[in-house]
Chain A
């Protein structure tokens, strides 16, 4: 065997500055994508390290000395442990990985180092998606592959020089060409129905609705305008003032906060009776809440599958909702809820902690004396108080003292839904009307294009229900008395100019429209789980696609795409020669007339022989021959108009049957 093998060079040559710049860019991008969840001082330190190394390499190539590298490594590990307590898990792990990646740059001098660094950067890009898998984040991360691919390209020796920006383009083309295969693989790679290790850690903690309500704890929620859920209705959506989504019904008041008690405390009870008049069918896709409750339109007729209806017509599932879920339900728009109140509920609905809010109790007693047994008049009196008593809707109310309802009703007179519903409920109970607080969402933005209702966390709301004889539980929204826009237009309108600048009207409109893209992304991509994958082939008549079928499909589609790619790679584009094609056509015509071109016959000889053999067309053939010879041999490139004329003449050449 005489194959010359390349001599292994003892010392690999250092990479050029272009490759190093691209590598630094890749790493800076990874760092930037991770910066939101890293502690700011760590991000700053790593950015400085990266910048310093880049500057140092510009001055003079060479590795950073070991005495500097090892302490930095120790410092990084220490910093991660100090910040997170350990080095395992999603946050500390990714912080450590990003740190190691930047430190890898310190010793990157050869192509091999750079390749290792780039691969590791790709991994870093992927881990950034564990924190945010939204559409924008995914697109930014995917664009982060471009400098990584460009780095790998720039490590190849002997290539035509390009500018930095143009160097990124081939990576884009490669990714675009790879997209069909990537999508097929994405659809068909069998999903795991349960994780192999560890529990997937919950996503970033959104405050969400919680099962208790105390004055002020909605503030975070009302300024968080991430989507909470999306609702699509069968038929027309309900009018805005009926868009109340019920989550928790709270009976229990301890003087400061309202608390939801589930069946573990209250014991199993039958759902309250419901006489429905008009009902509506709808489907909700709910973002992860890490709570067990599924919000439903007020009031649900029955629970969705896999969920159960509780005593007060709340819907609970067994496990907290840690992934996006989708469920359909039917609710009554006009209803009579629990027309007869049992003693236990009446007792609960009137219970107030002793020794709190004396002034409120006095006011309620006074109302009771004035209106006698007319509960509806008392409710009206309370709403009138809220409307005309100088109350103000604000997201930044003054803090309340021990007698929170007294302070709110008689002193501060400012607050938002939870203040109003809490105060109203306490007033009603003090006046002897069974009442309770209900929390959930109200309002939402109707996306015309997607025909769905977008409900944001900022649409969280609290209202009250009072039990009136003959009417059952009646929803009363005291916030609406203060700020009717809150009910008719939504949270943003009610908050007015109290929200930050980016929540102004046109931007909000843009964000609402943009939400359809997010919804598509969340449903089509993020929500494509094992269950949805099994139903992938339903349109083709296969109800349940199992893992083996998916594997076969994946293999088949990969082979298909590779075959297409191979066809492209093997395609040889021969330069076309129209003149030759025209002559071929003439030869075919002449062959039909009995004059076949010999293998060793030149065009001139052949055409003169044809002219001799076909005396009827001698002149035409002679003209064609001279024309061909001129086109072929007088020019490098035949002039197009003469070529066209020659082609036309060949086309018009008539095949005449010669009788021999």
Chain B
């Protein structure tokens, strides 16, 4: 029952000019109104109306007015539920969309904020195969979270969203298309493996120069620790390697990640490598700077800085 109905809906939307009117992306906020809300009986609605017809004929045949009254009441209530269904979308407002962060290939989390002046129930939102149901209280904002699969880095426009409901009785299916003029930024996917960023020599010396000589503590060996920091004597007394941890008041490793260093690679490979380096730098909590064509990001650290660098990478042509 459902499939032919959906085919019919799709056909109708292709055919009817009124239904295609809102195909162009539009800017937020989007408020639903009667010219963009569509309503058809659901499969259950059609079945139920056949049942009502049977009840009507039965009541008429047996000249049973009480049964006829009941049938009329049920039929009228079904018809009234159509208006309630319409009202469950009418006046609903999509005020803004917030996107999370995701690298290409992963799903990105979107938060859609809907607000409404009255209470609404059982509204469903379809986005590329994902359906979320939500309710809104009067004069509040509902934060609806759903995920959108991504393919490649860069700005990805949002697809059309379908807002639909079968509230209140499931007899009618009311829907509307939202096509917000908004894109989400997808970060580049880092390469899986590759060389470490080689810091410029002077920087390395600088690092060593500033490396504190005071031994603060011994800690477990981590991959990537310089060999000369291993405390061999102390390690001999344990069953794993220990590393001398030096007090480093200001001389955390400073990475200067530069687009120009990777001239041997093509653009996407460069971006993938830089992304991996950014990840490593972020994991090691060191501060780093990033040079990109037309965009120079000064050395800094922290998640905001990381997001800024990744976004810059993502937006490269």
Contacts and interface: CB of A to CB of B under 8 A. Distances in A.
A137 to B, nearest CB: 7
Contact of A129 (B66, B75, B128): B66
Interface in B78-96: 79-81, 83-84, 86-87, 90-91
B74 interface: yes
A178 B80 contact: yes
A176 to B, nearest CB: 9
B289 to A, nearest CB: 41
B255 interface: no
Contact of B86 (A182, A526, A569): A569
The 7 nearest A-B residue pairs measured at CB: A158-B133, A133-B66, A178-B76, A156-B122, A159-B121, A181-B76, A182-B76
A77 B69 CA distance: 31
A156 B167 contact: yes
B51 A122 contact: yes
A527 B64 CA distance: 9
A525 B124 CA distance: 43
A7 B80 CA distance: 30
A572 B62 CA distance: 45
On chain B, which size bracket covers the interface? Answer: 35 or more
Interface in A136-178: 137-138, 141-142, 145, 149, 152-153, 155-160, 170-171, 174-175, 177-178
Contacts of B64: 129-130, 133
B176 interface: no
B27 interface: no
A6 B126 contact: yes
B260 interface: no
A26 to B, nearest CB: 13
Interface string A203-246: 00000000000000000000000000000000000000000000
Contacts of A152: 168-171
Nearest to A7: B129
Contacts of A565: 79-80, 83
A119 B47 contact: yes
A191 interface: yes
Contacts of B67: 126-127, 129-130, 133
A3 B13 contact: yes
Interface stretch (B52-60, B188-196, B272-280): B52-60
Given A119-B48, A565-B83, 4 more contacts: A130-B62, A178-B73, A179-B73, A191-B60
Contacts of B34: 570
A182 B137 contact: no
A183 B170 contact: no
B79 A142 contact: no
A196 interface: yes
On chain A, which size bracket covers the interface? Answer: 35 or more
A189 B60 contact: yes
Contacts of A200: 61-63
Interface in B20-41: 34
B91 A572 contact: yes
Nearest to B161: A4
B90 A569 contact: yes
A185 interface: yes
A455 B59 CA distance: 29
A137 B65 CA distance: 13
A528 to B, nearest CB: 6
Contacts of B70: 125-126, 129, 138, 141-142, 145
A217 B47 CA distance: 51
B162 interface: yes
Given A1-B14, A115-B170, A197-B61, A526 B66 contact: yes
B124 A157 contact: yes
A562 B73 contact: no
A185 B129 contact: no
A145 B74 contact: yes
B61 A158 contact: no
Contacts of B212: none
A323 interface: yes
A566 interface: yes
Interface class of chain A by DSSP: helix
Contact of A191 (B63, B129, B159): B63
A260 interface: no
A150 B170 CA distance: 11
A526 B14 CA distance: 50
A564 to B, nearest CB: 10
Interface centre among B73, B123, B133 (most CB of A within 10 A): B73
Contacts of A182: 69, 72-73, 75-77
A533 B36 CA distance: 42
Contacts of B56: 189
A181 B80 contact: yes
Given A4-B160, A189-B60, A156 B166 contact: yes
Contact of B71 (A4, A126, A158, A197): A126
A115 B44 contact: yes
A127 B81 CA distance: 24
A327 interface: no
Contacts of A185: 72, 75-76
B292 interface: no
A170 B55 CA distance: 24
A282 B69 CA distance: 31
B10 to A, nearest CB: 6
A112 B170 CA distance: 10
A78 B14 CA distance: 54
Interface centre among A160, A197, A573 (most CB of B within 10 A): A160
A183 B77 CA distance: 12
A4 B175 CA distance: 13
A174 B47 contact: no
B2 interface: yes
A403 interface: no
B241 interface: no
B261 interface: no
A102 to B, nearest CB: 18
A541 interface: no
A158 B124 contact: yes
B33 to A, nearest CB: 8
B97 interface: no
A156 B6 contact: no
B72 A183 contact: yes
Nearest to A185: B72
Nearest to A573: B117
A217 B73 CA distance: 43
A529 B62 CA distance: 11
A539 interface: no
Contact of A178 (B14, B55, B77): B77
B62 A159 contact: no
Interface string A509-547: 000000000000000011111000000000000000000
Given A7-B129, A133-B65, A160 B51 contact: no
A569 B83 contact: yes
A189 B52 CA distance: 14
A189 B55 CA distance: 13
A33 to B, nearest CB: 12
B155 interface: no
B107 interface: no
A134 B51 CA distance: 24
A41 interface: no
A480 B126 CA distance: 83
Contact of B61 (A119, A155, A177, A196): A196
A235 to B, nearest CB: 32
B75 A158 contact: no
A158 B135 contact: yes
B168 A156 contact: yes
B63 A323 contact: yes
Contacts of A59: none
Contact of A4 (B13, B73, B126): B126
Contacts of B73: 142, 145, 175, 178-179, 182
Interface string A104-140: 0000000110010001001101110110011001100
A568 interface: yes
B122 A157 contact: yes
Nearest to A187: B72
